[in-house]
Amino acid sequence: MDVFEEFEQLLGEFGAFLWRELTPQIAATIGASAVTLIIGLIVLHKNSSKEYVSRSVKKAQAMGHVLTGRRVSAWVMTDDRLDVNAKTNAIFEYEYGGKTYRYHFFERRKPPETIQLYYLNNPKHVFIQKNRGYLRGLVVLMLTFLAGAVTAFLMR
């Protein structure tokens, strides 16, 4: 038996060993990861269909402290208007009790013409409802991958 035949035989035995020993573990890992990914996507879909409303916005709505602001001016903070990280500034005016107040808007999106403003005690201190639902979805997806990894580790 020459060296090449011996090497081919050892390689065949090693391949058979790997196939026999590791295939069930790899299949279990893939199965556990797939199941947790599907569960995570279902939870993410259910959560994304619900609009997130903060407690302070709910409290202001219950108290009837909702105002409508009208955009007076808007500008971009950078010289490059195509910069995706550029924050848009805008000034909204709203009226309460015969007085006109201003709200300053700083976000990375185009400001709308009108905006819903909320306050709790003082109409000078208004706030808006911010879209934070994407963060919850990201956390759910990360927890799904973590659960899949832990399940795969425990099935070894």
**What digits encode the pLDDT tens for the residues 96-139?**
999 999 999 988 778 889 999 999 999 999 999 876 656 666 77
What is the dihedral sign for C-alpha 95, 75, 78, 88?
Answer: positive
CA pair distance 19, 13, nearest whole angstrom? 10
**What digits encode the pLDDT tens for the residues 60-72?**
999 999 999 999 9
Q: What is the DSSP letter of 109?
A: S
Question: Could you tell me if 20 and 139 are in contact, meaning their C-beta atoms sit under 8 angstroms apart?
Answer: no
* Whole-angstrom Cα Rg for the chain: 29
Mean pLDDT of 48-75: 85
Where are the chain's structural domains? 55-130
Question: Could you tell me if 86 and 75 are in contact, meaning their C-beta atoms sit under 8 angstroms apart?
Answer: no
Q: What are phi and psi of 8, to 5 degrees?
A: -65, -40
